[in-house]
């Protein structure tokens, strides 16, 4: 009986070791998308009254967990019974990511009229405030759903040769850690200026260490969010390029002699340059046909 128990513990330890090893590989593959996820959600969770930032972020976090509860079983079923669909979804996701990356670069380079947020938060009624919050929460959860699909599919593609149990454990671990990690960091970012104000008001002295630190945090917040946006855009391009390079043979042959990161960057930029005008034209055609604002 005792030997059977210890044999079971040994099997569990071996399984956990395999999961940890594969988890590291999957984590590296999805790191780029997590950077973009962080940038997007830091932007989505900002722009609220100070006392509403954490409740809004918590609502988005719960929505993210629900997204993954929906996506995970579907992904595992597809992997088990129709594995070719995983590759198709991966490539479609690569198209979406390259479009998003190219669109962000286009917006930086080409001057355009940016749609302003006309909400003056201090003047909104309670009902209007709740409506405004719900709009941003729904938008954030939808974007999270798209990114979650890609994170899970990319993680799943790294362990496709493993048995189903290991796939479930590794990908679920990545999904949970990604959600907790991303939204935990977002919470720290969106409260950074509030913490800075508290440091400034910590004492009556001017130019104390706490005052300088507080002002640094307050002034740094916009730059942190902008930096995350740049990092996230680069990550989108690299991840999309990597998807095409590793899953489409002729593209792999075109860049296999280049350093990996350079090849993926060039492919991501090239794909975005092709896909952006196609989707933009498609949106304009849909707008003219349907008469709806795109």
Asked if the structure places residue 262 within a domain, the reply is: yes
15 is a domain residue = no
Q: Using alpha carbons, select from 174, 133, 158, 142 the residue that is nearest to residue 243.
A: 158
List the structure tokens of 261.
Answer: 């990161």
Residue 16 lies in a domain: no
Q: Does pTM surpass 0.85?
A: no
pLDDT > 90? residue 109: no
Q: How far is CA 157 from the centre of its chain?
A: 17
Q: Is residue 47 part of a domain?
A: yes
**Residue 180 located in a structural domain:** yes
Which two structure tokens, joined as six digits, stand for 237?
Answer: 């391009």
Give the DSSP H or E segment for 236.
helix 209-247
25 within a domain of the structure (yes/no):
no
* Residue 117 resides in a domain: no
Domain count, the chain: 1
pLDDT per position as a tens digit, 158-186: 777 777 777 788 888 888 887 887 788 77
pLDDT for 9 beyond 60: no
- The more confidently predicted of residues 133 and 237 is 237
pLDDT, residue 145, reads: 84
The pLDDT score that the predictor gives to residue 154 is 79
* Lookup: tokens for 63: 């929505």
Residues 32-58 have a mean pLDDT of: 65
More confident residue, 51 or 114: 51
Domain coverage including residue 154: 33-112+123-290
Once rounded to an integer, what is the mean pLDDT over residues 116-125? 52
**Does 207 fall in a domain?**
yes
């Amino acid at each position: 009986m005792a030997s059977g128990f210890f044999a079971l513990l040994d099997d569990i330890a071996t399984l956990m070791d395999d999961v940890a090893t594969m988890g590291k590989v999957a984590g590296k593959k999805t790191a780029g998308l997590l950077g973009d996820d962080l940038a997007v959600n830091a932007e989505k969770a900002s722009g609220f009254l100070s006392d509403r930032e954490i409740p809004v972020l918590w609502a988005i976090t719960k929505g993210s967990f629900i997204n993954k509860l929906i996506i995970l079983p579907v992904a595992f079923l597809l992997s088990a019974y129709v594995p070719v669909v995983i590759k198709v979804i991966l490539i479609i996701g690569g198209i979406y990511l390259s479009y998003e990356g190219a669109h962000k670069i286009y917006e930086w380079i080409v001057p355009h009229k940016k749609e302003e947020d006309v909400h003056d938060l201090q003047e909104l009624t309670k009902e209007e405030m709740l409506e405004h919050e719900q709009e941003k929460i729904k938008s954030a959860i939808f974007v999270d759903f798209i990114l979650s699909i890609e994170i899970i599919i990319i993680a799943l593609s790294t362990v496709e040769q493993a048995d189903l149990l290991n796939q479930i454990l590794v990908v679920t671990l990545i999904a949970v850690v990604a959600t907790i990690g991303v939204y935990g960091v977002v919470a720290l970012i969106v409260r950074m200026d509030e913490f800075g104000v508290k440091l400034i008001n910590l004492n009556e002295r001017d130019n104390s260490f706490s005052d300088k630190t507080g002002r640094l945090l307050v002034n740094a917040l916009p730059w942190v969010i902008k930096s995350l946006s740049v990092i996230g855009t680069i990550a989108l391009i690299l991840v999309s390029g990597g998807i095409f390079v590793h899953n489409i043979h002729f593209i792999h042959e075109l860049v296999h002699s280049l350093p990996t990161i350079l090849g993926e960057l060039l492919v991501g930029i090239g794909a975005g340059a092709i896909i952006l005008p196609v989707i933009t034209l498609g949106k304009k055609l849909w707008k003219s046909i349907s008469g709806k604002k795109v």
